[in-house]
A and B are shown apart, each in its own frame.
Chain A
């Protein structure tokens, strides 16, 4: 076997992880590919599976000026990664269009996670500066979705958002379902709805006991449910773009059955999260012990360059693992043995 063949057949995450360790040793950080901004903790729903404690707006959330200066401008200085806006419910921030206008003016591609009920507030900015991707939450069939989210009409709002965003020119609009113990066995019923919604794809997230979810650990799917949902997703992929998202971890040699490109945990290595009050986290964890600092105290570009050593130096078996969702592994809820039949 020639050396080139070996180089090419090597799963890219192995090469990538080694490269990350070498870069860290050389005191170099890659420019981030994406940075997610939790625009606000405010949300008008109280979903039990929420990865944050979304509800009331926090008193010390970043102001408009701070969001533009400390986040958007810093992203531009970092080479223009994708500006991913999430929440809470980000559309509840009245100044979000202004921040997005500023991001567009700085040449940043952007993406949005929303529950969909207020997207009309972004209609103009979507038309003027189409986002790369919008993900709209859809937890199950109408009755389940409305009951789980605690508001009648939220299912219809999600479907309307999927439709409207496409009409306004968003190039890729996907439905996002967080799989829990309560809706795992409903995915076959939800699939026709997703397909008929006009969504370009369907992302199946996996519940993680973070944020409010920590108080609802009973929502962690059973091993049999994980296996069934993964099997269903694999089969439906033959006819519709369904993908298992980050929280599922990598499926090893079978990864291609569930995803278009190999799984790679980019937490602190390719992406990070700026919280509503400016804390810079490796991903959507709410554990402030993982923070690299606050953008109010140090520039984001410096925090990115200096922070997340445990994710980059390869010494920490939990944080250095690029094959599994470190957050799930930390909570002991890694699903890989059950969903994919491989060791965690």
Chain B
């Protein structure tokens, strides 16, 4: 049915057109044709989408917050030259950042400092996926519950940032050929977006938002001995011996008593009693044998051994520390993917 409607409508229009004219011509599309295309698309079923959860939990955002977000965060064609202070902050080196009016983080900043920075950013409307990676970089030693609470705040922030960006992207925009083949015509270079329109689409976007930073990656670990507390999005699940799980970047692993993990490829990891472990600290938990394997893999990446980069990518939470020690562009790309 979906394919037939345009054909039927087109056929009728063809019949009419044949009566009126035979020769093809170049002309601006008549408005009637646009309406007909819109109607055909509206009457045909939309492509099936994944079931969307309820939008009831979408946070309430003020219009002023969205205004501030639109003014600072999105990078789009129309503002390439107009670099906002926030964009300048993100692009700046740590030394340059000191001169800009945004929260600063010293290396190893404590969780309260990071939380305060996050709150400050949100008050300014600076919802940005970039913040999640920046504030989670090398989290300080802390109790598992505290780390998990902070990670949950970041998940919420990341999902809000994602929903805002998706809501903005869902607004109709002028079409243009892609810049690889053609420059955009002047008429479509300044498309404005209103905060009210973004806000209206925000709840639906929130319901569908799946921030990639919160999704489990390809690294699968198995609990070999002990009982592991797996904190994800503020909730603690228990993983018992023999069970496996895929690690997400914002997960916190809590070991109240010693826990031994196993990775099928590299071997054993040991989480000491009373420890809290994140993807950042996971390499330190590798057994000596497993660490040697990871080091060897990093050396293969540096030597550009075929397939080594792909293997290292699958093991990134275990291998990022070793990869930092190499002087290889392939390794640097993987480390960037881990940190961003």
Contacts and interface: CB of A to CB of B under 8 A. Distances in A.
Interface of A: 3, 6-10, 12-16, 18-19, 21-23, 25-31, 33-36, 78-79, 81-82, 84, 109, 111, 131-133, 135, 141, 171-172, 174, 176, 185-189, 195, 200-201, 203, 205, 222, 224, 228, 231-232, 235-241, 243, 245-247, 253, 255-256, 259-264, 266-267, 270-271, 273, 283-284, 301, 304-306, 314
A84 B175 CA distance: 18
Contacts of A133: 179, 183-184
A252 to B, nearest CB: 9
A130 to B, nearest CB: 12
A7 B26 contact: no
**Top 9 closest A-B pairs, CB basis?**
A34-B182, A256-B169, A245-B180, A111-B183, A19-B37, A266-B177, A238-B130, A133-B183, A239-B90
A241 B75 contact: yes
Nearest to B39: A7
Contacts of A36: 181-182
Given A224-B309, A240-B91, A12 B37 contact: no
B26 A132 contact: no
Nearest to B131: A238
Interface of B: 6, 9-11, 13-14, 16-17, 21-30, 33-34, 36-38, 40-42, 46, 49, 75-77, 80-81, 87, 90-91, 128-130, 133, 165-166, 168-170, 172-186, 309-310, 313, 329-330, 332-337, 340
Given A15-B41, A22-B10, A82-B183, A195 B91 contact: yes
Contacts of A222: 310
Contacts of A15: 34, 37-38, 41
A222 B334 CA distance: 15
B173 A261 contact: yes
B166 A264 contact: no
B13 A26 contact: yes
Contact of A261 (B13, B22, B176): B176
Given A132-B184, A228-B337, A262-B173, A25 B179 contact: no
B84 to A, nearest CB: 11
A22 B9 contact: yes
18 contacts: A9-B170, A18-B37, A22-B37, A26-B14, A28-B27, A28-B29, A28-B30, A35-B182, A82-B182, A109-B185, A201-B80, A238-B340, A240-B91, A241-B76, A256-B165, A260-B77, A261-B174, A305-B24
B33 A33 contact: no
Contacts of A174: 179
A31 B180 contact: no
B26 A29 contact: yes
Given A18-B6, A28-B25, A34 B91 contact: no
Nearest to B73: A238
Contacts of A238: 75, 90, 128-130, 340
Nearest to B210: A254
Given A132-B183, A232-B333, 14 more contacts: A22-B10, A28-B25, A28-B26, A29-B24, A30-B28, A195-B91, A235-B337, A241-B75, A256-B170, A262-B173, A270-B175, A304-B26, A305-B24, A305-B26
A255 B310 CA distance: 25
